[in-house]
Amino acid sequence: MFKLLLTLLLINSFGFAQVKFEQYFLPKTLRVDFYETGNSTEKKIIFEFTKQEPYWAGSKINLIDTFNYGEYQYNVYDSVSDKLIFSRGYCTLFQEWKATNEAKKETHSFYETATMPFPIKTIKFEIQARNKNLVPMAIGFETIYTRYINPNDMFLNTEIPNRYNWYYVVKNGGYNQKVDIVILPDGYTKDELKKFREDAKRFTGYLFNTSPFKENENKFNILAIDAISEESGTDFPCENIWKNTAISSNFYTFNIERYLTISDIKSMRNIASIVPYDHIIVLVNTKAYGGGGIYNFFSVVSSDNMFSEYVCVHEFGHAFAGLGDEYYDSDVAVENFYSFEKEPWEPNLSNLKNFSTKWKDLVSKDVPIPTPANEKYFGKVGAFEGAGYSAKGLYRPAYDCTMKSVSVDNFCPVCKRAIQRMIDYYAK
């Protein structure tokens, strides 16, 4: 039977005492690889293996997650004292797939990973998933998997992946005090590496053309790895086009043409592990429109579409800051993705059930809630109906935003605040 953990919002508001890194960890990474298997009503975690990676790029100060973002979280406990020593929220492709029609009829498995600082001693590793049936005033997680991990286990994988050439596109300091983004190529052959290097530089510019990233450029390191693909391009399954690439990107995820994601998560992580990184951006060598972003997992964007700059910052908003989609009139595969009774965890979405926990503090007294969609309130923070793939019942902070429409350097004040908080969390 699942163990149910309820954490009241009131308790969460006080935060957690952070942990002394050197007492529990070494400056490298432990990666846990596993499958999540299930359907629309069931899920199960199946362990694959543990792996040692050479760097820990994250903060050595902020080890306990204070955001409570994500459909899942993993917690790391000292096995003797049961003290929480690391935690992180995240999202998965499985969580999106289970809201599709296909998940009502079939069972699928998705490859997933969790990364954490490398423990000195045995830890208890725990994965929790949100329980959406809990009361509106609570954040609820249920434990779906627990495993004790000994860092000295003879089966812990220490192999060194391919040593591709890598370099800094932007370097502003030590990796434990910066947001470290690694840009990976997919569908670039050996003869196209010069193009990838130019693309990596161009997309770095896209990121720093956008507020609040541009004001915080000195808090970022951007790296790139020359991972070589055997063939140029990417997969278009519905067109019977298949390419042999380094990370196996593909369009038509969940039968949505523009939804570009990664299927070979293991290879993606192995390639990224040769550098110190916090977040992964995959550039896919194609002119087709598309991309994808999953919180604390990856973001993907096509390299040469006229809207690639917008897609890059929009999808990175998902992957880095946990921002939700604010549009409601585009084709999506998921159904009833958000509860109308419990506040979404995304910082830029609300159903107004508990608005004081969202962005109410940024709303001027002269702005009504809900906020009418008329010109008087354009450019102001309010609560505009229509968000999260639903025209009714869900609200967004501004009439327009990069998370709503195809617009560059247009994050609303609420999204900017969420991004800034995440930058400060990693760069401490």
Contact 371, 396 (CB under 8 A): no
Nearest to 396 by CA among 326, 318, 324, 337: 326
Residues with Cβ within 8 Å of 215's Cβ and at least 6 positions away in sequence, in order, are none
Residues with Cβ within 8 Å of 174's Cβ and at least 6 positions away in sequence, in order, are none
Nearest to 386 by CA among 337, 321, 327: 327
Architecture of domain 164-331+370-427: 3-Layer(aba) Sandwich (3.40)
- The verdict on whether omega for the bond into residue 372 sits within 30 degrees of 0, i.e. cis, is no
Contact 205, 268 (CB under 8 A): no
How many angstroms separate the CA atoms of 43 and 129, rounded?
A: 10
Q: Kindly state the tokens that stand for 149.
A: 């991990």
Tell the residue number behind the tokens 């690694």, with chain if given. 182
CA distances from 132 to 45, 104, 140 (A): 19, 18, 7
pLDDT given for residue 131 in this prediction: 84
Residues with Cβ within 8 Å of 188's Cβ and at least 6 positions away in sequence, in order, are 195, 196, 227, 228, 229, 232, 283, 285
Q: Which residues pair with 220 in a beta bridge?
A: 179
Residue 300, by phi and psi: left (phi above 0), alpha (psi -120 to 50) or beta?
beta
Contact 84, 322 (CB under 8 A): no
Nearest to 334 by CA among 16, 98, 82: 98
Sign of the CA dihedral 98, 64, 421, 278?
negative
How many angstroms separate the CA atoms of 427 and 177, rounded?
A: 5
SS3 184: strand
Nearest to 350 by CA among 374, 378, 385: 385
pLDDT given for residue 2 in this prediction: 41
pLDDT along the chain (428 residues), means of 10: 41 60 98 98 97 98 96 98 98 94 96 99 98 60 97 96 94 97 99 99 98 99 98 98 98 96 97 98 99 98 98 99 92 72 94 96 97 95 95 96 97 99 97
Contact 99, 336 (CB under 8 A): yes
Range(s) within the chain of domains with CATH label 2.60.40.3250: 21-149
Say whether domain 21-149 belongs to CATH 3.90.1150.10.
Answer: no
Helix ranges (DSSP H) in 239-365? 265-272, 308-321
Helix ranges (DSSP H) in 186-337? 193-208, 265-272, 308-321
Distance, C-alpha 277 to centroid of its chain: 14
pLDDT given for residue 12 in this prediction: 45
Q: End-to-end CA distance of the chain, in Å?
A: 39
The DSSP secondary-structure symbol of 353 reads: T
Range(s) within the chain of domains with CATH label 3.40.390.10: 164-331+370-427
Tell the residue number behind the tokens 């019942």, with chain if given. 393
How many angstroms separate the CA atoms of 275 and 111, rounded?
A: 22
pLDDT given for residue 329 in this prediction: 84
Sheet order of strands, 84-90 included: 3-8, 138-149, 123-130, 72-78, 84-90
Nearest to 126 by CA among 23, 69, 63, 47: 47
